[in-house]
Structure 1
Amino acid sequence: MSRKLSVLRVGFFLDGYTLKKVNEYYLRHHRYHSRLDFKALKGWVRDYAMRLFGHDGCPIEIESHYYHPYVRFEDRAESPVDSGMDRFEKQLALAGFEVHYNSAENAKRMGPNLQLIEDASLCAYYRRIDALVLLSTQGQYSTLPERLKREGIPTLLLGWNFEYLKGDTPVYWKTDSCLREQSGYYVAMEEVAEMYPPKRFAEKNLFMLPYNPQPANSNIWRAYLQKIMASLDESPACKPDYKKSPAVAGLG
């Protein structure tokens, strides 16, 4: 950046629609079989933004926002008591993300939450941020980098490109070319992800642990119970190495 900052203020805006697709890919189709760790991802963004926009001795503050493609549970006809979405949002809160829900009208179209554009623009206008980090692949956000540029705020885009087979059908997920061209900086996150496979005791991870993928039809608990039941059904006297204890032998 052209001017030296006493504190580097970074706005990290995460498109939940893109993240949903990315997590589905890494959980179901990629060899990792894991989801992104929000806290670890935020830490990676902090380090990268510091190298890109900061300078030696400059502290950094990150304002993190997650934009749901869905509406709040309270706005739905039925609200599950203990759902996976509740646990998901707790993970976001623990990582320091402020959660923004989609409007009911936009959620019907099942796409990105476009309120992100207005909120990020306001942050830039009121000088709450010095740089924006946007995690998205969606072309609906392509107007945002130019709007921020007029306010003197650079945009770092974190995009994803991947492909996989869904049954016999190939699926291609690409970062929108217009969004990529409009952003001042771009990182191919699929390449970054390959550098940080989920491992125990690793210095850095981008994915959640524990990493212990099991086949879809495996059931360790059921196998354990079956083994116990088989041992109970088998008469001890039938075992070749069976010996009666002194107490049992005394009973005849």
Structure 2
Amino acid sequence: MSSKLSILRVGFFLDGYTLKKVNEYYLKYHRYHARLDFKALKGWVRDYSMKLLGREGCPVEVDAHYYHPYVRHIDRVEPSFGDGQDRLEKQLALAGFEVHYNLATDIDRSGPNMQLIEDAYLCAYYHKIDVLVLLSTQGHFSTLPERLKREGVPMLLLGWNFEYLRGDTPIYWKTDPCLREQSGYYVAMEEVAEKYPPTRSAERNLFMLPYNPQPTDSNIWRTYLQKVMASLDEPRFKEKPRFGKNGYKKSPALARLG
């Protein structure tokens, strides 16, 4: 079988520490005010990998992994409804991501989940993937590209560079230069994001859309109650009803007889 028709196996490894910062930026400080859509992002990675490696039209398998920067909350007796960690896990599961939580030994350390390096290397070592896509900006992973190269697996780095004001404090978020230099391929995702604003009419979105967008000052339930109250104030009959001697309302036929 031709190599162009063989399955392209893509390993997509997402650094949750970086994604948390990226989502915070786009949700609070960017004009989009939206979070990244995991399913759409995975689809973009699939299509871009085919194009990058010259494998358009071939079947693609994307093995997607999300590395959470925090430890899984397993000591709660009754998890609170709508817990953010649970919602995130459900969104990732629906998009086809396997979630990896940080180790309990690193619970006090703020930073990326370093299990990603060994897991990614093992996928390459056992020839489970043809290319690895890493979404991260962290220099902690700068040793990974060289290790993958020894196994004949190229790495595509999805990095982010942006700046914004948090109050009066300027914030600069940059992709680590060493990680970028070591990677075989690099994509500036802040430029890609500008091509896919969150609109309902777009063929492709990278960001989540609100389910039922409403003006900030609207209240559907209040409007409904106002209509109900207004209907109660309206006269129930346009003309005075006609009642018989026994107090019952006459039928239209009897009413004509007087």
Tell me the TM-score range normalised by the shorter chain.
Answer: 0.7 to 0.9
Q: CA deviation at 1:83?
A: 0.9
Name the SS for the 1:133 alignment partner: strand
Is 1:246 the counterpart of 2:239 in the alignment? yes
- Cα separation, 2, equivalents of 1:194 and 1:141: 26
- Cα separation, 1, equivalents of 2:71 and 2:155: 27
- Cα separation, 1, equivalents of 2:219 and 2:189: 37
Instruction: Provide, for residues 82-115 of structure 1, a one-character-per-residue CA deviation record: whole Å limited to 9, x for no partner.
Output: 3122111111001110000001222311210000
Quote the residue 2:35 is aligned against. Answer: 35
Name the SS for the 2:190 alignment partner: helix
Name the SS for the 1:198 alignment partner: coil
Identity of aligned residues (%): 70
- Cα separation, 2, equivalents of 1:105 and 1:159: 28
1:225 to 222, 227, 232: 222
**Is the CA contact (8 Å cut-off) linking 1:33 and 1:213 kept in structure 2?**
no
Q: CA deviation at 1:62?
A: 0.9
**Is the CA contact (8 Å cut-off) linking 1:34 and 1:211 kept in structure 2?**
no
Q: Which amino acid aligns with 1:20?
A: K
**Is the CA contact (8 Å cut-off) linking 1:5 and 1:54 kept in structure 2?**
no
Q: CA deviation at 1:236?
A: 6.4
Is 1:175 the counterpart of 2:168 in the alignment? no
Q: Which amino acid aligns with 1:167?
A: G
Q: Which amino acid aligns with 1:63?
A: D
- Cα separation, 1, equivalents of 2:73 and 2:93: 16
Name the SS for the 1:6 alignment partner: coil
Structure 1: runs of 5+ lacking an equivalent: none
Q: CA deviation at 1:56?
A: 4.5
Q: CA deviation at 1:61?
A: 1.1
Name the SS for the 1:74 alignment partner: coil
Q: CA deviation at 1:191?
A: 0.3
- Cα separation, 1, equivalents of 2:223 and 2:126: 64
**Is the CA contact (8 Å cut-off) linking 1:35 and 1:208 kept in structure 2?**
yes
- Cα separation, 2, equivalents of 1:23 and 1:38: 11
Task: Kindly report which structure 2 residues correspond to 1:50-199, keeping only aligned pairs within 5 A, or say none.
Answer: 50-75=50-75, 79-199=79-199
- Cα separation, 1, equivalents of 2:213 and 2:177: 34
Structure 2: runs of 5+ lacking an equivalent: 244-258
Pick the structure with greater CA Rg. Answer: 2
Q: Give the aligned length.
A: 240
Distance 1:51 1:111, change over 3 A: same
Q: CA deviation at 1:214?
A: 7.2
- Cα separation, 2, equivalents of 1:4 and 1:228: 62
Name the SS for the 2:74 alignment partner: helix
Q: TM-score, normalised by structure 2?
A: 0.82
Quote the residue 1:23 is aligned against. Answer: 23
Q: CA RMSD in A?
A: 2.9
- Cα separation, 1, equivalents of 2:76 and 2:213: 33
- Cα separation, 1, equivalents of 2:156 and 2:178: 14
